[in-house]
Structure formats: structure tokens, C-alpha cells
Structure 1
């Protein structure tokens, strides 16, 4: 059967992107549930598959790289202040609300609470809140937000001299970023600075999204033409992504439990996650319509995608809260009961966060941006 035309989305928004967010959040949720219940080590291959769900974080990073960089490609002169306001409004209120609940419930050291509130927990030794440990990726994401305008400005200047250079530069930077991840030292989360969570060690995932944004905006580039040819066979690519994911569950990609992954194993893990992210995101933004994209665009998937940030923030506090309330021991099984009780609570909190915190503040930020634009025009 002939491949259908590519569904390029210059607007940067496709319902399937929301579905991909839901998939990323779901991977993160199941990997934490599997870890807390000991299922990673007790369920054989299924446990390893669940345990490698931390690749969902890489998918979130790739989505950020794609959508935010695409915005700078479309509007290279957008005010940096407005960009930072939108990013702060999108991320910080819900994050700080969840953090406040975690701090009130667990009473961590004031130093650790303050570092998390400032998004600096990955730059200090031993700053680790077990009930909110997934928040490290927010700190990494914030650092990407901070440097992206300068990077986009540099790329724009390079493009004015050589229109084909930016995409080539990003493609060359990708393996270098993977190599950098392999050079980062390991860390004990309880006592060391987790350098492997800093932006340089995680930049490969963001670069995947940025490369795809360049391909979307410059379809005539030789690299873009090659990428589009690859994406004409989404079924084979999805099979490759599944095989790559299975490979990532083996020891070559490091531990599946809480221990640190660094050095060569982190580089391998980054490389494998880049392949997965490139396929899953590339098919959505450039490939033909398939059962995969239709599933991601379904009403349930898009709704879950819209509240995915709240799912990401709330699931681990909910899971650890259930352990505290029930007195059940960690690593003693019970994956299905944990998900059956914890997921509905998480979804309710995420939906409430989206409706009462995230959406109102994002609308306020959008209104402030429009008001500022009108003042500038006077």
C-alpha cells in the first residue's frame, strides 16, 4: 500500500503531540510504580520493560526541544522577556504547588526545600526528596529554557550567512552531545552532585527535537529530504523503536533501579533514547497518518496529554503517600493495587491542577504578552 502524505505541522501543534506527552508521562509513572513495588527485579522481562520507562523523560525533553525551538524558527524576533514569562507561567506554578505539598508532608531539610523551590537541586550535593525525586528533570528543563534564546539567536545569525549550516550543525552536535554524556562522572544521589542530570549530559534529547524542527521548517534541505524518506516506512521504524527499547533494558544501558548510570552506559542509554525519541516524535510531525498517530490523537490520549504535566508532578507524591498511609513495605510487590489506587488520585489532582492552576496562569501570561505588545506599538 502506498504511503500517505506526510502530516507536517508548521504550527507546531498536532493532537498527536498531546498523545505523545501522555505516552511519556505514562512511561514515567509505570517505571516509578515498578521500582517502588520491586517489580523491576521480580517480573523478569516485563519488569525490565517497566523499569526503563525513564525514557519518558527523554521524550519530554525532545518535545520541548522541538516545540520551543520551532517557535524561535517561526518568530526569530520574538521578545525574550515574553518567552521567559510564558515558560515560567507554564512550569513554575504547578511545580511549586506540588513541592509545597511534598514539603508540608515530608518536612525535608530547609536547604533541600529551598534548592527545589529555586530549581537548583541538581547543582548541590545530596539534595534529594524521595517523594519528589522526578523533579530533577524540571531543573534540567529550566536550564534548557534559559539557554535556548541565545542558542536560537546564534543559529539565526549563522543561517543569515549560510542557510544550510544550522541543520548540519545540529546533526553534528548530536553525537557530540552523546559523547559528552559518556564523559560525565557518576554520583551517589544522597551525597554527590548529580552532574549526569545537568543540561550538557542530557542535551542530546533536546537536540533530537531541534533537528526535527529544522527539518519541518526547511523541507528542501538535503538532510530533510533524507529524514523524510526514512519516515515513509513508519511501521518498520516503530518496530525499530520497540527493538531499541528492549535493548535499553539490558545491562549495556546501565541499571534499571535507583543507582546512578554514568560513563559509557549513560552514553549508550542516551544514544538509544535518541533513536526512540527521533522515531516516536518524527513520525508524529513528519510521517504519514498511521494507526500510531491516530491512537495518539484519540480523545483519551489527548486529554491525558493536556494534563500530563500534572500527572508527572503528582504521581510520585501520591504513590509514596499511599505507602506512608497504609504502612505497606516498599519493594514487596503490589504493582496492580498501587496503580489501581494511585492512578485515579493522580489523574484527579492533575486535572484539577490543569483547570485551576496551569490554564488560568497561562491565560494571564498570554494576556500580559498581548498587553505588552500593544504598549510597545504605541
Structure 2
């Protein structure tokens, strides 16, 4: 959710995929709608439309797939050593943490949660404690999961090196098998009660299939001529099929087979089905943009309004739920009592304004600062490398 739409194809060449910003916008809209449906009770009372909105939490899976594609592709395209990992960590931290901490600070000021809870949130550790939930910042669990992915990804890329030397397509095969295996393991911790148990189904192992979907798409681009890569390319070239699969899987996920659309506990089989369907939706939406050629779908997602919303989507993710809950607090209306239209009419403009300000004043400056720090380090390292040569010739 926190990276720009660039990838390398082939390794070493950088290509912009504007439509990925648009897909990020779609994911942000889904997340906003699911929280609006929950807070107003529309998810329960709105019939099929309410169920569809409630399953908008699949937008998080799309964010995860985008991160998997973009970050994995970038790391595979470059040498990953200690220096590169340090730079990667600084860029990731600069991109996500300052804006996150500002939004968290606003929530702390107005919601006044216990010190332990906001401290855990500040460190991205809230998903590892049973009762550290801040209701007006509940969406932040996904950032905690994403941070754990950031930490694991360089290790995965390094671990795949020996396989890549033995066969360029072996990493693609291993990642595909891992996605299936981890989908089956995602049901571990089923039956968790919100607010009482540690929600293990939010941990990286349970959400890894969505990240792996993006990583698989990235790996397929590294071996375009291999038989293993032809299948995703063939699917990606059939936009109608991909969108039909995504729509069908999303609709099926609104049925009881994927568990409740609320915070009620889910069985192991329901979590596994939900994980699989979310991964299918993310894959079907991503394939035409990364494996297929230019099409009407990618053109629609590449339009300026969609790209702008995608660019500020991290701020939308951070601010929409605090804004929604603040509106309830200001008006004195009880939650789950309706008011969907007024909530969206007032809450969305405020959220977009805060998102744009966050992007302009926090996200971009912090990322540029990280870039300057890394550039200065590289410059100093080049100077140090040149000094022994000068002494030899002196």
C-alpha cells in the first residue's frame, strides 16, 4: 500500500505501470466502504449490496498483493546485500512510519487510549496482543502485518538465490507451492474471539498468500519464455476472464462459506476459504496489469483521477476510520444505527483532504529525506573507496 507503481522488466530496466496506482485506488475504496458498512449497520441491513460492501476488506488483500509485486520485483532486480537491505529498510520506514505516527497521534489525542495500547500501535505490535485494539484506528492491523512482510522479504529473496542459480524458474515454482501451503495453514487460530484472544489470523503466515500472489506475478516477468510463466501470461491476456473470476470469487466470499461479514469468530475452513478467495481476487485483478498487454481495464485504472486517488491512498487508509468515528462522536449518533449517506457525504471529503495533506507534507518529504541520506552515504562510500587508490599512486 505504500509503494509507487514501478517494476523492472526485464531485470535492470525500470518501467512505470500507471494502472497499478488505479488498482490501489480500488483497494482503498473497498476498505472505506467496508468500514462505512460496518459502522452504520448497512452490512447487516443492506441486502446483497450490504454484503458486498462488508466484504470490501478484500481491498487489504489487494494492497498486500501490490506490495508483494512491487517490492519483490525491485529487490530481485538488484543485488541484495547488507548495504542494500539497510537502504531498503530506511526507505520503507520513511515511506510508511511518519504519516502513520501522525495519524496515530491524532487518534491518541482525541480517543485517549491506554498508554500501553498506543505504544504497541506505534511499534506495529498491536496484532500480537489480545486486547490492544483502538476502535477508531482498527484498520492499522494491516500495517502491522505489512511491516512484518517488509522484514521478511529480503530474507526470502536471499533464500531464493541458490534456487535461481539452479534454474531461473524454480523461485516461481517455490512461491506458487508456498502460496497454496500457507493458504491451507491460514486456518490456524480459528475461533478467535475479538477483544479476548490474540488474532493469529492477522499474522503474516495467514496473510502471506496475498503477498505471494504479487511476488508470483513479479517472478513470472523474470522468466517470460519459461513454460511456468506462460500460464499467468495467457490468463493475463484474457481481461474478461480475469475480471469475471475476480467478480465471481468476490461474490462467493459474501456467502457463509467464507465466514461472517462481522467480527464474529470463524471456523478453520471458513478462514481457509476466505484466504483463498481473497488471493484469487487479488491475482485476477493484478494479472492483466502485470502480464497482459494494454487494454480497456488498464486504461480505466490509468486515468488521472484514479491515479491521484491511488497516490494518496495511504492517507485514505490512515484517516478514513478516525474521521468516521469522530463524526459519530461529534453528532452523538450511536453506531450501527444507519446514516450511511451522511457519513460518506461528510467523511469522504474530509478524508481526501487529510490524505492529500499527508501525502504532500509528510509522505513525500520523508521519502525525499531518506533518498538524500542514502545518496550521501553512497557518496561517502565512493570517497572512501577512492582513498586507498590515491595513496597507492601518491
Tell whether the structures are fold-level matches, with TM greater than 0.5: yes
How much does 1:26 deviate? 0.4
Q: Considering Cα pairs closer than 8 Å and 6+ residues apart, tell me whether 1 or 2 has the greater RCO.
A: 1
SS in 2 for 1:183: coil
| Contact 2:235–2:241 (CA under 8 A) maintained in structure 1 | no
Q: Which of 35, 44, 50 pairs up with 2:38?
A: 35
Runs of 4+ in structure 1 off by over 4 angstroms are: none
Provide the aligned C-alpha RMSD in A.
1.2
Question: Which digits, 9 at most, give the CA deviation of each residue in 1:188-207, with x for residues without a partner?
Answer: 22121111101001100000
- Counterpart-to-counterpart distance in 2, 1:60 and 1:12: 20
Q: Does 1:134 align with 2:139?
A: yes
Q: Which residue of 2 aligns with 1:19?
A: 22
Of the candidates 61, 64, 67, which is equivalent to residue 64 of structure 1?
A: 67
Q: TM-score with structure 2 length normalisation? A: 0.92
- Whether 1:293 aligns to 2:303 is no
Take 2:46 and 2:130, find their aligned partners in 1: how far apart are those partners? 33
Q: Is the 8 A contact 2:8 2:74 kept in 1?
A: no
Does structure 1 residue 268 correspond to structure 2 residue 267? no
Contact 1:12-1:70 at 8 Å conserved across structures: no
Farther-moved stretch of structure 1 (179-188 vs 344-353) = 179-188
Where does structure 2 lack aligned partners over 5 or more consecutive residues?
1-6, 384-394
**Is the Cα contact below 8 Å between 1:127 and 1:189 reproduced in 2?**
no
Q: In 2, Cα distance between the equivalents of 1:97 and 1:343?
A: 19
Aligned-partner Cα distance in 2 for 1:128–1:189: 9
Which deviations, in whole Å up to 9, do the C-alpha atoms of 1:104-148 show, x marking residues without a partner?
101111111110011100011211000000000000000000111
Unaligned runs of 5+ in 1: 1-7
Report whether the alignment pairs 1:123 with 2:128. Answer: yes
Count of equivalent residues: 371
1:361 aligns with 2:361: no
The structure with the larger Rg is: 2
From 243, 250, 256, give the equivalent of 1:251. 256
1:290, CA displacement in angstroms? 2.0
Please show how residues 217-366 of structure 1 align to structure 2 within 5 Å. Answer: 217-366=222-371
Deviations 1:291-349 (A, max 9, x none): 21111100000000000000000000000000000011111111111100000000000
**TM-score under structure 1 length normalisation:** 0.96
Deviation at 1:229, TM superposition (A): 1.2
